[in-house]
């Protein structure tokens, strides 16, 4: 079962406005854009895991950022708290896709709390202009058949805390 509207909004804190509530989820807004500055390393047991470094790009005085084709890391404004009875899936908003860009997200596990990051892929050969706080993704919450006994306890728990 997909949880939308008011029920979904209870799992998302620090929303910019009421217009973020959608029938099938909650829109997430753009806080930061970062460019990758190093390679990463992934292995089976995370003993050699090394997350790629990135540097924050600045919005101009009008609150816009012009991005050329390529891949970027983005951070959202919203803080999300996934209950043990749910998981969430992030999708790009259709307007972003129609401008030639895509967002990729991992599964948001039961028990995850944080201000998450996603991968932004700009495919449009002319690039894209994004405004600070633009609604770029939609988070869709699904109720689990059975509540998880244990919540997410990975490296990213509580990430990007700032209030």
Q: Per-residue pLDDT averaged across 22-38, rounded?
A: 93
Q: What's residue 163's pLDDT?
A: 54
Q: What's residue 154's pLDDT?
A: 87
Kindly state whether residue 152 falls inside one of the protein's structural domains: no
- pTM for the complete prediction? 0.90
Q: What's residue 156's pLDDT?
A: 87
Q: Which of 97, 52, 91, 45 is nearest to 72 (CA)?
A: 52
Alpha-carbon distance of 20 to 23, in angstroms, equals 10
Number of domains forming the structure of the chain: 1
Query: Model confidence at 148, in pLDDT bands (50, 70, 90)?
Result: very high
Kindly state whether residue 87 falls inside one of the protein's structural domains: yes
Kindly state whether residue 50 falls inside one of the protein's structural domains: no
Kindly state whether residue 75 falls inside one of the protein's structural domains: yes
Kindly state whether residue 102 falls inside one of the protein's structural domains: yes
Q: Which of 154, 78, 163, 51 is nearest to 111 (CA)?
A: 154
Longest dimension (CA), the chain: 49
Reported as a single tens digit per residue, the pLDDT across 84-129 is: 999 999 999 999 999 999 999 999 999 999 999 999 999 999 999 9
Run of H or E residues at 144: none
Percent of all residues in the chain with a pLDDT value above 90, rounded to a whole number: 76
Alpha-carbon distance of 92 to 158, in angstroms, equals 23
Kindly state whether residue 21 falls inside one of the protein's structural domains: yes
Q: Which of 28, 115, 99 is nearest to 66 (CA)?
A: 99
- pLDDT at residue 36 tops 60: yes
Q: Which of 139, 149, 66, 131 is nearest to 108 (CA)?
A: 139
Reported as a single tens digit per residue, the pLDDT across 2-24 is: 777 677 767 787 888 777 878 88
> The domain that contains 10 carries what CATH number?
2.70.40.10
**Residues present in the chain in total:** 163
Kindly state whether residue 82 falls inside one of the protein's structural domains: yes
Residues in a beta bridge with 103: 120
Rounded to 10 degrees, what is the CA torsion of 83, 88, 90, 93?
A: -90
Arithmetic mean of pLDDT over the chain: 92
**DSSP 8-state symbol, 81:** E
Kindly state whether residue 155 falls inside one of the protein's structural domains: no
Percent of all residues in the chain with a pLDDT value above 70, rounded to a whole number: 97
Give the domain range for residue 112. 2-36+57-143
19, 141, 142, 158 from 130: Cα distances, Å? 18, 25, 29, 26
């Amino acid at each position: 079962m997909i949880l939308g509207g008011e029920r979904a909004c209870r799992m998302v804190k620090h929303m910019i406005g009421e217009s973020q509530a959608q029938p099938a989820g909650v829109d997430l807004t753009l806080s930061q854009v970062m460019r990758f500055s190093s390679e990463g390393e992934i292995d089976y047991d995370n003993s050699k895991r090394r997350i790629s470094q990135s540097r924050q790009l600045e919005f101009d005085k009008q609150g816009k950022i012009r991005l050329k084709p390529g891949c970027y890391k983005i951070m959202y404004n919203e803080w999300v708290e996934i209950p043990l009875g749910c998981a969430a899936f992030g999708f790009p908003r259709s307007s972003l896709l129609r401008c030639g860009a895509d967002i990729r997200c991992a599964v948001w596990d039961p028990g995850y709390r944080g201000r998450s990051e996603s991968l932004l892929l700009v495919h449009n050969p002319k690039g894209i202009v994004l405004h600070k706080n633009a609604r770029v993704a939609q988070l869709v919450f699904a109720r689990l058949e059975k509540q998880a006994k244990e919540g997410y306890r990975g490296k990213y728990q509580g990430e990007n805390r700032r209030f």
